[in-house]
Amino acid sequence: MKMSTRARYGLRAMIALAQNPEGATGRSIAESQNLPAAYLEQLMARLRNANLVTSIRGAKGKFVLAHNPENIDLAEIVTALDGPIEIADCADVTYCCSDPDTCALREIFKGANEALQAHLQEVSLAELARRQQTEENRQVLDYSI
């Protein structure tokens, strides 16, 4: 399974907002995260509809997290952007099995879906933002002698 571009870009935008509690413009998020601005606007609309971000309109317009980043988990974000988190759903596979209710793979897929959901629920947006900051700090080169 590969996470969609929509989810990956949306997570990056949410990290940017978590790192800027006062909020940020769509343009500044797009520039800082190297994302297409028009696509970012679509993602922010989905996140706004899911009540994860709010938007302030006008000359000083910006996006702000709707909740404390400690209270937003990654599963909420991915679900808002992509819908239910599933690596596989037997119903989606044409001709997979003559009777999906008796398919041994169904339970395997169900377990994998539940494990992925649980894992993403365990990580808060605040934790992801802290991890990102740690990674960025590692990249800072020190040329002092």
Q: pLDDT tens digits for 27-71?
A: 999 999 999 999 999 999 999 999 999 999 888 889 999 999 999
92-119 burial code (b ≥16 CB/10 A, e <16): eeeeeeeeeeeeeebeebeeebeebbee
If you average pLDDT over residues 79-83, what whole number do you get? 94
Above 70 in pLDDT, residue 20?
Answer: yes
Regarding the domain delimited by 5-139, which CATH topology (the fold level of the hierarchy) does it fall under? Arc Repressor Mutant, subunit A (1.10.10)
- Strand residue runs (E) in 12-122: 53-56, 62-65
DSSP designation for 140: -
21: Cβ contacts below 8 Å, ≥ 6 apart? 65
Among 49, 12, 46, 45, smallest CA distance to 31 is for 12
pLDDT tier at 98, thresholds 50, 70, 90:
low
